[in-house]
Amino acid sequence: MAGVKRFEDLIAYQRSAELRDLVYDLTSSGAGLADWRFRDQIRDSASSAPRNIAEGFGRYSPQDFRRFVTIARGSLAETQNHLAHGLRQGYFTPADYERARTLSCRALAAVSGLGRYLKGCKVR
């Protein structure tokens, strides 16, 4: 993580935050807006990933950080589940779904890579 001074510098955080912002945009209007339970759940899971990466970064311990990264990974998978459900319910257009799904896969790949890196870090 050479050159990383803030959690915002992490690609995993950047991709997760992009997904969060897209989910908020997609649920700000349209049919999904009326289903407040769905809207709140997908927004919470999408917000959880960058939130956990930020919190883990602040823990300073690679093992602690890795635990939060694992939680972020689960939140991204949960977001993917909500995206698929939203597509089936007609809350998202196929194009919007594909854009969000692609971004979620990119975020998952970055978060998984960060987790692998942290697993290899030695305890001081």
pLDDT at 1 over 60: no
At residue 123, the pLDDT reads 67
The two counts, helices (H) then strands (E), for the chain are: 5, 0
Topology of the domain covering 16-119 = de novo design (two linked rop proteins) (1.20.1440)
For the chain, percent of residues with pLDDT exceeding 70: 97
Mean confidence (pLDDT) of the chain = 94
Q: Is 30 exposed, middle or buried (0-12, 13-18, 19+ CB in 10 A)?
A: middle
Q: Domain limits of the chain?
A: 16-119
Taking Cα atoms as reference points, which of 5, 15, 115, 18 lies closest to residue 71?
A: 115
pTM, to two decimals: 0.92
**What span, in angstroms and rounded, lies between the C-alpha atoms of 106 and 117?**
17
pLDDT at 96 over 60: yes
